[in-house]
Amino acid sequence: MGHRNAGYVPALGRDILTPLYDPLVRLTTRESTFKGRLLDEAGISESARILDVGCGTGTLLLLLRRRSKSLLAIGLDGDMNVLAIARSKAGRRREKIALAQAFCFDMPFPECAFDRVFSSLMLHHLTRAEKIRTLQEIFRVLRPGGEMYVADWSRPHNLLMRILAFSVRLGDSFARTADNLKGHLPALFRDAGFEGVAELTRFATLYGTLALYKARKPLMAAAQQQARIVGSTLHERIGSELQHDIVDCAPRSARATEGPPPVDG
């Protein structure tokens, strides 16, 4: 199927190349270094609920599993073929990983469901409009105070990186990669409502500059989100589901010390 109709772009641009993804990325992108660093930066607690958007072959989820068996982590990807590779890779390592086939701009998760959301080498596959919708979705499913960690192609930081980035532009389309390579990702994060947006570090790779970013959903989003849930869906949802969402939307610290907030009506 052509990727324009599929709703996603396969890991290496074409379905037939997907089985080559793991060896290629391992050999050419300093994969374990940058993914390990991304996880280090996220400071994940044992009880964290984690989502990997565009999880591909599941490498990041398996790195997480190696750090803790008790984490609640799920990977989302639009491509069934790449999820099959993730599943069999986990099986070979006798690990269980949770996977969901869905599009990043329409996620099947409730508001405030996750403490950390990761996205590695995925945003550059999306058009500007898809990036915006995806960031809005990540914002929605993160709890207030929750954090997003992104690894993706970025503005080349020297002439060599600019030359090497040409292969990414050619392979993944000039239009889809433009925001990455012009250094616009942080602005898109802020536009989606994130605060504390920061570039953590960058790596020189054979495909150009790879940057790691961090962004946080403001704690204040809790009140706004609760008001929206109560206001907009009271008539649409049954009581138990509503109560569940409101409890999940409370900031972690509030949840630990208080009971569930009262539900009006």
Ligand X SMILES: C[S@@+](CC[C@H](N)C(=O)[O-])C[C@H]1O[C@@H](n2cnc3c(N)ncnc32)[C@H](O)[C@@H]1O
Residues making contact with ligand X (CB under 6 A): 7-11, 25, 54-56, 59, 77-79, 82, 103-104, 120-122, 125
Question: To 10 degrees, the CA torsion angle through 154, 160, 162, 167?
Answer: -90
Q: How many CA atoms lie within 13 A of 209 on its CB side?
A: 19
State in angstroms the smallest separation of the CB of 27 from ligand X: 13
Instruction: Report, in Å, the least distance between residue 59 CB and ligand X.
Output: 5
CB of 213 to ligand X, least distance (A): 14
Q: CB 25 → ligand X: shortest distance, Å?
A: 6
Q: In terms of residues, how long is the chain? A: 265
- The answer to whether the Cα torsion of 153, 158, 164, 169 is positive or negative is positive
Cα distances (angstroms) measured from residue 242 to each of 61, 226, 230: 30, 10, 8
Nearer to ligand X, 71 or 249 (CB): 71
Cα separation, 95 vs 92, whole angstroms: 8
Least distance to ligand X, CB of residue 22, Å: 8
Spatial CA neighbour of 125 closest among 178, 164, 165:
178
Q: How far is the CB of 45 from ligand X (least distance, A)?
A: 22
Minimum Å distance from CB 232 to ligand X?
A: 26
100/230 with CB nearer ligand X: 100
> Which CB, 201 or 243, lies closer to ligand X?
201
Q: What's the helix, strand, coil split of the chain in %, to 5?
A: 50, 20, 30
By beta-carbon proximity to ligand X, the closer residue of 55 and 181 is 55
Nearest to 143 by CA among 57, 60, 246: 246
Q: Which is nearer to ligand X, 118 or 194 (CB)?
A: 118
- Nearer CB in complex with ligand X: 133/252: 133
Q: Which is nearer to ligand X, 15 or 199 (CB)?
A: 15
Dihedrals phi, psi of 160, to nearest 5 degrees? -60, -45
Cβ 25 vs Cβ 53: under 8 Å: no
Q: Which is nearer to ligand X, 55 or 135 (CB)?
A: 55
Minimum CB distance to ligand X, residue 19 (Å): 12
DSSP string, 112-172: T-EEEEEEES-GGGS-HHHHHHHHHHHHHHEEEEEEEEEEEE---SSHHHHHHTHHHHHHH
With CB atoms as reference, the residue minimizing the distance to ligand X is 56
